[in-house]
Structure 1
Amino acid sequence: YYGNITIGTPGQVFTVIFDTGSANLWVPSIYCNSSACKNHHLFNPNMSSTYVSTNRSLSITYGTGSMTGVLGYDTVTVYEITITNQIFGLSVTEPGDVFTYSPFDGILGLAYPSISASGATPVFDNMIARNLVAKNLFSVYLSRNGADGSFILFGAIDSKYTSRGIVWIPLSAQTYWQVHMESATVNFLPIACLGGCQAILDTGTSRVVVPKASLASIRFFLGAGPNGQISCMTLFKPDIVFHIHGNSFNLPASSYVIKQRDGSCVLGFESMEGNLWILGDVFLRVYYSIYDRDNNRVGLSRVG
């Protein structure tokens, strides 16, 4: 899920992922020779009358992909919100092919400044500091099946998407949008995150990512094969339920079964090293999510 922003004067347009799982803004630049940069819009600081250079460097590693670059300041416009002197990264290298075929140019991070590389002030922190938003929160709706209508709303909650009420969850750390999860169950049986775990709400991750040890259990209880292959018939499959702060958040089979281009289906779960759970787009399509900086909490409201 991505949208357009402009950087510079006059504005140069970039498509970015609005990523709650990172905190830096960066775009490809004319300084970049990586193959990933050849396919994308490149920021040219020489064409902007408001650009200010620095001698500071930037290096970011994501779950997939990485970049290095330099930091600069310029005017950034996100929809109708204009931030002058916003610090951002101009990529110099984007190694590998992760970003080569991506439909987006760069990334706009929406996590806490504590995890921002090179201590660069995040975009939303500047919106808050300069009173550019009515409330110090933003909210995200992700549509299903590639339908139109996905949005990120800065400074407001759209009541059209909260008719079922909002469940508020305090953050367990002000780094990512991180919460404590008590367990994950299927048919009332705890199958993973036994004894509790940490989970982050991450718009920049497609699937639900779980620790390696949990994936086999989840596949087994949801009826998937060893490579995650699963029948496309979702009718009789159980929900997987995430128990967070005393509340139950159901993820139905219609959401965790992902149809591939070839017509086969796979489970919308992946694994990685470490103990962190990542509730990515597979989860966030089911819940309208609200990210509240004033109260260091997230709100979830079931959609549809």
Structure 2
Amino acid sequence: REYKVMYGSGPVEGVFSKDTVSVGGIDVPGQPFAEVSKVSFGPLNIAFAMGKFDGLLGLGFKSISQYNVPTPFEAMIDKKLISEPVFAFYLQEDASEQGELVLGGIDSSHFTGSLADVPLTSETYWQVSLDAMRFGGEAVVSSPAKAIIDSGTSLLAGPPEQVAALARQAGATSIMGKAYVVDCAKADALPALKFTLGGHDFVLEAKDYVLRVSGQCLFAFTGIDVP
């Protein structure tokens, strides 16, 4: 069966296949997956050409699957191949160090203290309530909004007008339409960015939202209209 899927960065098309998918020693027999035969030119095309990966492992909900195909993780839950319906990421700040994806639990060796419980507001995307957002002393979001936690997105994305306003506050300059850079000499002096998600505060310092790439300092925000 043929398919065509529209990602935020462009359309992908090909055919559906079935095989045993093995992840971390867990075998999922008869798992449907999409073989890609065509990627339209754009950011995703460049990512596939330059990236050190072979595909995408979906972790969203089946409710937003265009073809109602269960993900390998959902199949693991349904077939009782994992002990808990939980997955967790451990990401390194240094890209040369290995990160970790845990399916079926949490590796407590990677954190101290307790985890924050942020309830979902919709079982479509991993959607939560963004109660507020402040950049230094300025309110960027002052009334509750919808936010999506997405492991497959490289940057922080938001409505283009709000992202442009935030970039102006940071003194960032637009390049290539949607990306922004800041003066590297001033980057470390930028204020903290505080998100309030489901009643919990999460703070990003300048070193967390300014990415040093090829001699430039990329402001880690991009404008995207999410339907």
CA RMSD of superposed structures (Å): 1.7
Alignment of 1:218-229 (within 5 A): 218-227=166-175, 228-229=180-181
Judge conservation of contact 2:11–2:40 (CA < 8 Å) in 1: yes
**What one-letter code is carried by the residue in structure 2 that aligns with 1:143?**
Q
Count residues in correspondence: 218
2:189 alignment partner, SS class: coil
Q: Does 1:240 align with 2:193?
A: yes
TM-score of the aligned structures, taking structure 1 as reference length: 0.67
Deviation at 1:226, TM superposition (A): 4.1
Equivalent position of 1:46 in the other structure: none
Match for residue 140 of structure 1 among 80, 89, 99:
89
Instruction: Flag the 1:92–1:216 CA change in 2: closer, same or farther, 3 A.
Output: closer
Q: Offset of 1:183 from its aligned partner?
A: 1.8
- Aligned twin of 2:11: 66
Report matched runs for 1:179-198 at 5 Å: 179-191=128-140, 193-198=141-146
Residue number in structure 2 paired with 1:260: 213
SS of equivalent to 2:184? coil
Give 1:82 shift.
Answer: 0.5
- Report the Cα offset of residue 114 of structure 1: 0.7
Which runs of 5 or more residues in structure 1 are unaligned?
1-55, 277-304
Q: Distance in 2 between matches of 1:207 and 1:217?
A: 17
**CA displacement, residues 49-81 of structure 1 (integer Å, 9 cap, x when unaligned):** xxxxxxx33221111132112222211101211
Give 3-state SS (helix, strand or coil) of 2:142's partner: coil
- Residue 273 (1) aligns with residue 225 (2): yes
**Which amino acid letter does the alignment assign opposite residue 90 of structure 1?**
E
SS of residue matched to 1:273: coil
Name the structure 2 match of 1:290.
none
Distance in 1, matches of 2:38 and 2:135, equals: 44
Contact kept, 8 Å, 1:183 with 1:195, in 2: the verdict is yes
Secondary structure of 1:204 counterpart: coil
Equivalent residues of 2:194, 2:201 under 8 A apart: yes
Higher relative contact order (CA 8 A, sep 6+): 1
CA positional deviation for 1:145: 2.8
Among 114, 120, 132, the alignment partner of 1:165 is 114
User: Gaps (5+ residues) in structure 2?
Assistant: none
How much identity, in percent, do the aligned residues show?
29
Do the aligned residues in 2 keep the contact of 1:68 with 1:94 (CA within 8 Å)? yes
- After TM superposition, give the deviation of residue 95 of structure 1 in Å: 2.4
Distance in 1 between residues matched to 2:119 and 2:217, nearest whole Å: 35
In the alignment, the residues of structure 1 paired with residue 114 and residue 136 of structure 2 have an alpha-carbon distance, to the nearest angstrom, of 24
Query: Which stretch shows the higher mean deviation, 92-101 or 178-187?
Result: 92-101
State the match for 1:82 in structure 2: 27
